[in-house]
Amino acid sequence: MLLAIDCGNTNALFAVHDGDKWRAQWRSATETSRTADEYAVWLHQLLGMENLSLDDIDACIISTVVPQSLFHMRNLARRYLKCEPMVVGESDLDIGVVAVIDNPREVGADRLVNAAGARTFIEGALLLVDSGTATTFDLISAKGEFLGGSIAPGMYLALQALHDAAAKLPRIAIEKPKKTIGTNTVSAMQSGIFWGYVGLIDGLVRRIKSEYDEPLTVIGTGGVSPLFSGASETIERFDSDLTVRGLLDIFERNRGKI
């Protein structure tokens, strides 16, 4: 079985694939100080709830934008799974997507993995809108070239900044408000954040489309992307599984190389 790990700035995703289907997925808060032993205890308990064990896993692939966590996750694979993990962006892996920007090494592994995942089920040029710690817009050509995009702060960062910088603004949850005009502080903040980000997304998507000559399929992904369903005028479909699709595709492309 394959353990796929995607470690982002806020959360880390762990998913198990048995060769035919995904058996389970879990998320953990990203903590750079968490050791391989701590990950193993946590994972052992969750696997047990699915009638699985660490011994059932014999392969691992890791994608991370948090270098401090890679050491511990690599040790998790070596020590407890008895395998050498594939690491996206570190070795000469065939990702199926080639970065053709000014400095290809700058592209986060998560963005390339999402692109690989999208290309497994959609042909043609793509624009991926990933709503996470950051809100990223990634342009992928029909030939599988990562052409660049845009990066903006994510919704949670914006909310945190409001709470930290303004003494009277509370910490609130992200929700889709019924009206644009808020009649109290919480509803006003929810409106500004939610509809502000809808405007940000739709505005940037339209600008990117105007600068690119080919038709684009716009896909929304990321933790808060389902909130935009029915609100965004430019996102054509939503898929929260782009990352695991991409990790599985990259693993299959490179099976036997490590």
In angstroms, what is the C-alpha Rg of the chain? 19
Q: Which domains does the chain have, with CATH numbers?
A: 2-87 (3.30.420.40), 98-245 (3.30.420.40)
- With bands split at pLDDT 50, 70 and 90, how would you rate the model's confidence at 258? low
The pLDDT tens digits of the residues spanning 59-116 come to 999 999 998 999 999 999 999 999 999 999 876 889 999 999 999 888 988 999 999 9
Q: The whole model's pTM is what?
A: 0.89
49 CB-contact burial (10 Å; exposed 0-12 / middle 13-18 / buried 19+): exposed
| Cα within 13 Å of Cα(153), Cβ side | 10
Q: Which is catalytic among the residues 55, 102, 110, 138?
A: 110
Per the model's pLDDT, the better-predicted residue between 171 and 197 turns out to be 197
- Which residue bears the tokens 């692109």? 115
To the query of whether residue 94 is one of the catalytic residues in this protein, the response is: no
Q: How far apart, in whole angstroms, are the C-alpha atoms of residue 226 and residue 232?
A: 10
**How confident is the model at residue 248, as a pLDDT?**
97
- In terms of Cβ atoms closer than 10 Å to its own Cβ (0-12, 13-18, 19+), residue 69 is buried
Residue 135's nearest CA partner among 220, 229, 241 is 220
